[in-house]
Amino acid sequence: MDFEDQKTAEPVVVYKPEKKHRGWKIFWAIITVLSILCNIFLFLMLIALFALFGPVRRDFFIEEIVREGPPEQKIVVVDLQGIIDGKTYTEIYKQLRTAGADEKVKGVIIRVNSPGGMASASDRIYNEIGKFREQTGKPVVAFMQNIAASGGYYTSAGCDKIVAEPTTITGSIGVIMTYFVFQELLEGKLGIEPVVVKSGLKKDWPSMFEPPSEEQLEYFEEKLIKPVYERFVGIVADSRAELTIDDVKRLADGSIYSAKEAYDEKLIDEIGYLDKAIEQVLSLAGIKEAEVVEYHRPFSLAYLLEARAEGALKIDRSTLHNLSTPEVMYLWSIH
């Protein structure tokens, strides 16, 4: 290339990369830190609110409509489900208290699906139903579904009327007591021999360390079974006007009854479904129609965590004591 060509050629431009600005990096770092701090703050606020107001209120319910009707007149369906124990009693008590405080509630249906349970808890529920009827003047109808045996029937006896579905199993009027004997396990399998120091012969009766003697069985019958059994019979006789004590004793051998058998024996008033129980409440309350509602717990994270904690299996001294201590039950039990 000659000199003239060099003068007319395009100049070569060399591009150098610009230095990246650090400003954006700093900006996003600040945003990230602020986001983390905000999340921590919100979490601490939730903890503070929970600590301030405590766990979810156990006596607060929301209503779910079961049957449409005028909302100024309501019938409340209260569920009595599963094995009856102290927690069952507490739940029934709070729902009855809520219904009793609501002037729009004209009556209650106790929907029973239970084989029974603790004699003491069953008796307390029976008592609360009676108090509700007496203090509010509002009718209560038992509606039996599936199983309403033993303690399930005991609690139903506290109501004005009893309606059972056609496939219901009820009855089982009687008392049962069970406990565990660990003698063979401890002595025969593990080589552990318990030592019991007591102030009197009957102090450790019944004992989980030895099978009961005939004397002990007679003692349990007299002191535990008989009084609780007689109360059950008396409750049924008082609540069923057409039955005498002798009639109830004839039925109170622990037998279960179908809905038809129970109706024929005058243990229940009607066979039908929920609509029949609603009709009974309307008739007893002297009204023609009403909105039918159920009570439910509102969803709560605290309630969920509490329920999970209660459901956890814990083997401690209290659990072992419960396993070895006899419990007098109004329970239809299949061993």
Q: What is the pLDDT of residue 131?
A: 97
| Known active-site residue 74 | no
Q: What is the full DSSP assignment across 231-277?
A: HHHHHHHHH-TT--HHHHHHH-SS-EEEHHHHHHTTS-SEE--HHHH
More confident residue, 8 or 285: 285
Question: Is it the case that residue 31 has pLDDT exceeding 50?
Answer: yes
Catalytic residue among 114, 120, 150, 172: 150
Predicted TM-score of the model (pTM): 0.77
Whether the CB-CB separation of 116 and 85 falls below 8 Å is answered with no
Helix (H) / strand (E) element for 37: namely helix 23-53
CATH superfamily of 62-331: 2-enoyl-CoA Hydratase; Chain A, domain 1 (3.90.226.10)
Residue-wise pLDDT for 105-160, tens only, equals 999 999 999 999 999 999 999 999 999 999 999 999 999 999 999 999 999 999 99
| Known active-site residue 7 | no
Distance of alpha carbon 271 from alpha carbon 178, whole angstroms: 33
Helix (H) / strand (E) element for 230: namely helix 226-239
Residues 156-191 as b or e (16 or more Cβ within 10 Å = b) = bbbbbbbbbbeebbbbbbbbbbeeeebeeeeeeeee
pLDDT mean over 249-256: 96
Residue-wise pLDDT for 284-305, tens only, equals 999 999 999 999 877 555 554 5
Catalytic residue among 202, 203, 223, 288: 203
Residue 326: pLDDT band (50, 70, 90) is: confident
Domain boundaries, the chain: 62-331
